[in-house]
Amino acid sequence: MSGRGPSNYMHIGHLVIFEFVKWLQDELDAEVYIPLSDDEKYVFGKVKSLKQAYVYAIDNALDLIALGFKKGKTFFFVSTRLSEIYELSVTLSRYLTFNTVRATFGLEGEGVNSGVVFYAAVQAAHILLPTAKKGLLVLVPIAMDQDPYMRLTRDIALKAGFRKPAAIYSKYISGLTREPMSASKPETSVFLIDNEEEVRKKIWSAFTGGRPTIEEQRKLGGNPDICVVYEWLKVFVFKDLKNMNEHAYKCRSGELLCGECKRMLADALIKRLAKHKARKRQALRVIDHFFLHEVEIPSEIIKILE
């Protein structure tokens, strides 16, 4: 299982971990659970209302279904809409003191709201739902920053008599500006709803390992080790190591100019996004089969997909 906090539209970096999850599903014929934590984003103040988070949750779910997860083996749910989640959270909350939550997350003082305190139990419930429901062992591909939750959950699982879940951590991909990708800084990543022009513009402004002038680039070569465009090409475009190494060699030798790499990346991403959008439209027709509760499609989503 792997979750998504629906506080915004998704960018291309978000897909990477779920592509890995899909790969695991294909390899292991595993069931996949994908909680959409509207409650998390709301109690931490990342969205104004649960309603707003719900719109993102459905949008994000469509993006993920578009990756090709198996129907009947993949189960999405919006955290506040599945009463089993609250029930399991309550069960687990007895094994989780305020003190532990505060120490684990370094919450500031006691002005923290009660939803934040309880959310630690809710996230544990997300992770342990497949175990509680069907006795399944759980593997959680997860971003490194979610590690405190994993540790808490493993402790709680033991106390509550469940098998401990396992985690597998993903590396972050650099943002285009070399800061971390962030939904609140659109220039750091390519969003799945960006149009062609936006993609080109963002890639064009990306941080590279290139020289200030063409002459210097030809003479001294570029530095792919610090180049975000090269990093993105590795993640999103190149199929194998040979490909990657050849490209890096050409860069270092001065054969490639940054513009060429940027065009290559932008073209590939634009193609990918177009394909993604088509698949997302198809996902709209099957979304009901992927959810553990009833789903209404917000009108905003229909508009985006027109």
- Residues in the site for a second copy, rule: CB under 8 A? 39, 42-43, 45, 49-50, 80-83, 85-87, 89-91, 93-99, 101-102, 109-118, 120-121, 293
The owner of tokens 């719109």 is: 55
Apex 55 CA angle, 53 and 56, nearest 5: 65
Shortest CB 49 distance to a second copy, Å:
8
Shortest CB 57 distance to a second copy, Å:
13
Q: Output the six-digit token pair for 258.
A: 């940054």
Residue closer to a second copy by CB (options 98, 204) is 98
Shortest CB 7 distance to a second copy, Å:
14
Question: What is the SS3 assignment for 61?
Answer: helix
> Rounded to the nearest 10 degrees, how much is the dihedral formed by the CA atoms of 147, 149, 150, 151?
90
Residue closer to a second copy by CB (options 49, 282) is 49
Which one-letter amino acid corresponds to residue 199? V
Shortest CB 235 distance to a second copy, Å:
35
Question: What is the SS3 assignment for 240?
Answer: coil
Shortest CB 14 distance to a second copy, Å:
23
What residues pair up with 90 in beta bridges, in sequence order? none
Shortest CB 53 distance to a second copy, Å:
10
Residue closer to a second copy by CB (options 29, 110) is 110
Residue closer to a second copy by CB (options 20, 98) is 98
Q: In terms of Cα–Cα distance, which of 289, 241, 293 is closest to 73? A: 289
* CA gap 246, 249 in Å, rounded: 5
* CA gap 136, 83 in Å, rounded: 20
Residue closer to a second copy by CB (options 32, 117) is 117
Residue closer to a second copy by CB (options 77, 191) is 77
Residue closer to a second copy by CB (options 90, 214) is 90
Listed in sequence order, the residues at least 6 apart from 215 whose beta carbon sits closer than 8 Å to its beta carbon are: none
**Per-residue DSSP letter, 165:** P
Shortest CB 108 distance to a second copy, Å:
11
Q: Output the six-digit token pair for 133.
A: 């429901």
Residue 68: left (phi > 0), alpha (psi -120 to 50), or beta? left
